[in-house]
Amino acid sequence: MKRMVILMVAATLAATYAFAAGGQQTGGTDAKANLEASLKIDTSGLKSADGQQLLKPSTDNRKVPTRPANPDALPETDPLHWYDMEWAGWNANKAAVPKSPMTGAIGKKVVLIVHGDHPWTTACINGAKKVADAYQMKLTVKSPNWDLAVQNQMIDQAINDRPDMILLIPLDAKTAPQQARKINQAGIPLILFNTLPDAAAMDYAIAWTGPDDFGQFRLLARTFADELRRRNPGAKELGVAYVQHAPGGSPYFARCYGPISELASYAPEIKTLDKQAPGFEADKTMQLVSDWLTRFGKDLKGIIAADDSAQTLGIVEALKKAGREDVLVVAAGNSKVGMDLVKDGKLFAITYQTAEGDGALAVQTAADWFNGKEIPMRRNLAQHIITKQDVDQFYPPQW
Amino acid sequence: MRSKHSTLTWVDKNRIFLLFAVVSIFMSLFAPRFFNVFNLTAIMKTVAMNACVAIGFTIVMICGQLDLSIGTVITFAGVLGLVLKGPLGYAVSVPVAIAAGAAVGLFNGLLVAKAKINSFIVTLGTMTILQGAIYTMTKGNTVSLSTPDAFVVADFLAKPLLPLVTPRILITVALVLVAEVFLRRTRSGRNFFLVGGNRNTAWLAGIKTDAYIIVAFVLSGALAAVGGVFFAMESSAATLKLGDQSLMYVLSATIIGGTAMSGGKGGVFRTVVAILTLEMLYTGIILFGFGNEVKIFIAGLILATVVLYEAYAVYKHEREVGKRPELVKELEAAAAAKTAGSPRR
């Protein structure tokens, strides 16, 4: 029996050596015609489920500042302390990134690897598919269900598929450089999107696309400060607390230190009372906010939250129980829960975070690259703050 | 000609090799892009970490114990290896990480063997303590290295020396061979089976049972650390969930490979073949286009089936031992003869 087993294993391995082969690159026979046809495709008329333009041009015209010699030496209230995160990618060395084949986007094989299953992800994939369909791309979606080891395996399998491009939402900012490097070394073009990776990953990617979390939250912080001042005229000190995102990822920093560093100069009378990351469960957030209300009393004038669904539900519930209608709440959005709360007046403002637009922008950038267009190192989604005045325009919600 | 009973026994005994053959042939023939060097190397790389961990875990199970702390030891060693790499270099940080894993194993072993605490409880406690230590050490952040020298080591560990064989795979294969030879061909190795089979009998035979249990846990800790630290070196990163999936994976493979949960039976090589089989199966599932949720479902189904089968086998065995079928037959025959010879009323 042992012999039989050994023979079987040996035969399997031998056959592997004999027949194993890598993939093959796809390539059209008439690249020029394909390019011409691809360039004629117009995606500007595509709409997302909320009736908005799917691919809104970015409204961010800020100039990239010069990197300080040592950003870490600056205080956390200085925006330049966060330079390597906020401006990640703008100084990347793209020497190893492949050049566009200029063969057109039509028919290209693209693998999209997301971070995990979530209603947001579903909307994001829908947006990606709309653009992919417009260009007749063959889009394959893989979801590792929030497991980094599985995402790494999916990257291996994607490399094994030899697609024309990989689009990746890195699950962990700090492991993204290794993932990007592996894909780059396999000679497959890569676009990172949605989650900001460590700056080192940008060297291996054609571009990063997605929401400019820092930019959005600087905008949100200004709207928040204006309203807080309007509600508390002449106040010399206004206390604010932050409900943070999960530690580790870029939103954890952007959605807390973005507004802190913005308000330090824009509204210095606004003081940080506390900042905590209770996770994404309404009951835990409610407990946290109830503790704040006991601890800070009337000094707590506002709350800035990293999530407009479960976290905000917890905040609203705690405020309701304490009978505090004076506390101003803003959050990152824009889920159905968040939009409904804005409509009800319980949440003052949320950021416009188009999930469909996020996926769509990544695929559009891939198409532009195949079409030989010049790609900036970063492509941000359009920024907008939703308030009660315009929330109706964003119904029905994308997720 | 083989009787039906002996055929079933043979199939059961060699089930993992048969399963391996079936899965590998099926996936090679039908799973898209399964059968090429890149994919098979990727499978082998994934197997390498868990195979390393499974060596020690199998030895612990052969001793009739359980080590639930392996997953956190993997993470702990990976994180420690990278955190210490900066100030000390890999030459020091890797041995320290492995020694730390062994120390965790020693702690587990002493509590199980000397304090006579159930290994399930002890290792569950160690797992929780280590999780806290990992979070304290990293402040909740992933540890990563993006320096050129870290990439040099990572590239060396990942680059195949021969098709399918990277240095990390080679290290794992060497460890598996050493462990298999040690367990099968040396007296000390065979004593682990005796300790697991019947601890009291082993002790009466002059075997230092406590020492064997302690050594089993030390090996489990050290080998889990080897798996974790080399994986982290190859990735140049260690997340706080690095070893989270390994416990269920290794446990399933060890049972599927034929190691008895009650101890005294099993083997490292069979466990490693089971890991390889499971990995091929999971990769095939993804290549067929099914989602990760299908993979998780099938993994659970396999584990449940095997545990159920093991429980049935143990029940059947105990029932047979209790009945002593030959003795029962003898007694029945004697009773029948007695009845036949007794005067009628």
> B239 and chain A: CB distance < 8 Å anywhere?
yes
Specify the pLDDT at position B332: 73
- The DSSP letter of residue B261 is T
Reported confidence tier of residue A324, pLDDT bands at 50, 70, 90: very high
Q: Using 50, 70 and 90 to split pLDDT, how confident is the model at A18? A: very low
Kindly identify which residue of chain B lies nearest to residue A3, measuring between CA atoms. B17
The conformation of residue A397, written as its DSSP 8-state character, comes to: P
CA distance B35 to chain A (A): 6
Q: B20, B142, B286: best mutation site toward chain A, by most A Cβ within 10 Å?
A: B142
B238 phi and psi, to 5 degrees? -135, 115
| Contact state of A145 with B293 under an 8 Å Cβ cutoff | yes
pLDDT for the residue numbered A11 = 58
The pLDDT score that the predictor gives to residue B335 is 76
Residue B3's pLDDT is 66
The answer to whether A76 and A264 are in contact (CB under 8 A) is no
Complex prediction ipTM: 0.72
Is residue A10 pLDDT above 90, yes or no? no
Domain topology for A71-210+355-383: Rossmann fold (3.40.50)
Q: Is the dihedral of CA B285, B291, B296, B300 positive or negative?
A: negative
Residue A60 reports pLDDT greater than 80: no
Which residue of chain B has the CA closest to A173?
B142
Kindly report the average pLDDT of chain A as a whole number.
89
- Per CATH, the architecture of A214-351 is what? 3-Layer(aba) Sandwich (3.40)
Residue A12: band (very low, low, confident or very high) from pLDDT cuts 50, 70, 90: low
Query: Could you tell me the pLDDT band of residue A308, with boundaries at 50, 70 and 90?
Result: very high
pLDDT computed for residue A21 by the predictor: 38
Q: Distance (Å, rounded) from C-alpha B278 to C-alpha A72?
A: 46
Of B28, B37, B142, the CB nearest to A248: B142
Beta bridge partners of A110: A139, A165
For B39, which of A145, A160, A248 is closest by C-beta distance? A160
pLDDT classification of A20: cutoffs 50, 70, 90: very low
Chain A residues lying within 8 Å of B154, measured CB to CB = 178
- The answer to whether B17 contacts chain A (CB < 8 Å) is yes
Mind giving me the DSSP string for B170-196?
A: HHHHHHHHHHHHHHHHSHHHHHHHHHH
pLDDT band at A27 (very low <50, low <70, confident <90, very high): very low
Residue A22 has pLDDT above 50, yes or no: no
Q: Which helix (H) or strand (E) holds A238?
A: strand A238-243
Neighbours of B86 (CB within 10 A): 12
How many residues are there in chain B?
Answer: 345
Task: Inform me whether the C-beta atom of residue B235 falls under 8 Å from chain A C-beta atoms.
Answer: yes
pLDDT for residue A88: 79
Judge whether B132 is closer than 8 Å to chain A, CB to CB.
no
Question: How confident is the model over B10-56, as pLDDT tens digits?
Answer: 887 888 999 999 999 999 999 988 888 888 988 998 899 899 999 99
CB contact under 8 Å between B35 and A148, yes or no, is no
Distance CA B246, CA B220 (A): 13
Q: How many angstroms separate the CA atoms of A350 and A339, rounded? A: 8
User: Is the N-terminal amide bond of B163 cis, ω within 30° of 0?
Assistant: no
Q: What is the pLDDT of residues B225-274, one digit of tens each?
A: 999 999 999 888 898 888 988 998 899 999 999 898 889 999 999 999 99
Instruction: With CA atoms as reference, report the closest residue to A178 among B44, B56, B325, B153.
Output: B153
**Beta carbon pairs, A and B, within 8 Å:** 112
Task: Please tell me which residue of chain A has the smallest CA distance to B242.
Answer: A149
CATH 3.40.50.2300 maps onto chain A at 71-210+355-383, 214-351
Using CA atoms, how far apart are residues B235 and A176, in angstroms rounded to an integer?
10
Structure confidence at residue A92 (pLDDT): 78
A24 falls in which pLDDT band (50, 70, 90)?
A: very low
A17 → closest Cβ in B151, B163, B235: B163
Say whether residue B24 is in contact with chain A using an 8 A CB cutoff.
yes
Q: Which of residues 63-102 of B touch A (CB under 8 A)?
A: none
pLDDT confidence of A3, banded at 50, 70, 90? low
pLDDT at B341: 64
Residues facing A264 on adjacent strands: none
Identify the band that residue A29 occupies on the pLDDT scale cut at 50, 70 and 90: low
Query: Are B28 and A12 a contacting pair at CB < 8 A?
Result: yes
If you measure CA to CA, which chain B residue comes closest to A161?
B33
Spans of chain B, pLDDT less than 50? 344-345
Q: How close is the nearest chain B Cα to the Cα of A386, in Å? A: 32
Q: Do B142 and A174 make contact, defined as CB atoms within 8 angstroms?
A: yes
Instruction: Give me the pLDDT at residue A192, please.
Output: 96
Nearest-angstrom CA–CA distance, B305 and B316: 16
Q: Report chain B residues whose CB lies below 8 A from the CB of A160.
A: 33, 36, 38-39, 42
Q: At what angle do helices B268-287 and B37-62 cross, to 10 degrees?
A: 140
Residue B343 at interface with chain A, using a CB cutoff of 8 Å: no
**pLDDT given for residue A76 in this prediction:** 93
From the list B42, B237, B286, which residue is nearest A174 (CB)?
A: B237
In order, the DSSP letters of B8-45 are HHHHHHTHHHHHHHHHHHHHHHHSTT-SSHHHHHHHHH
B151 touches chain A (CB under 8 A): yes
In chain A, residues with a C-beta closer than 8 Å to the C-beta of B283 are 153, 157
> Are B35 and A20 within 8 A, CB to CB?
yes
Alpha-carbon dihedral of residues A124, A127, A128, A131, nearest 10 degrees? -170
**Cβ-Cβ contacts under 8 Å, A145 against chain B:** 291-293, 296
State whether B235 and A175 contact (CB < 8 Å): yes
Q: What angle do CA B167, B96, B231 make, to 5 degrees?
A: 35
**Which of A21-25, A116-120, A137-141, B299-303 is predicted least confidently?**
A21-25
pLDDT value at residue B262 = 85
Q: For testing the chain B interface, which of A85, A160, A181 should be mutated: the one with the most B CBs within 10 Å?
A: A160
Of the candidates A12, A153, A248, the beta carbon closest to that of B141 is on A248
* B138 in A contact zone (CB under 8 Å): no
Q: Using one digit for the tens of pLDDT, what is the confidence trace for A190-213?
A: 999 998 888 889 999 999 999 999
User: How much is the pLDDT for B345?
Assistant: 43
pLDDT at A15: 53
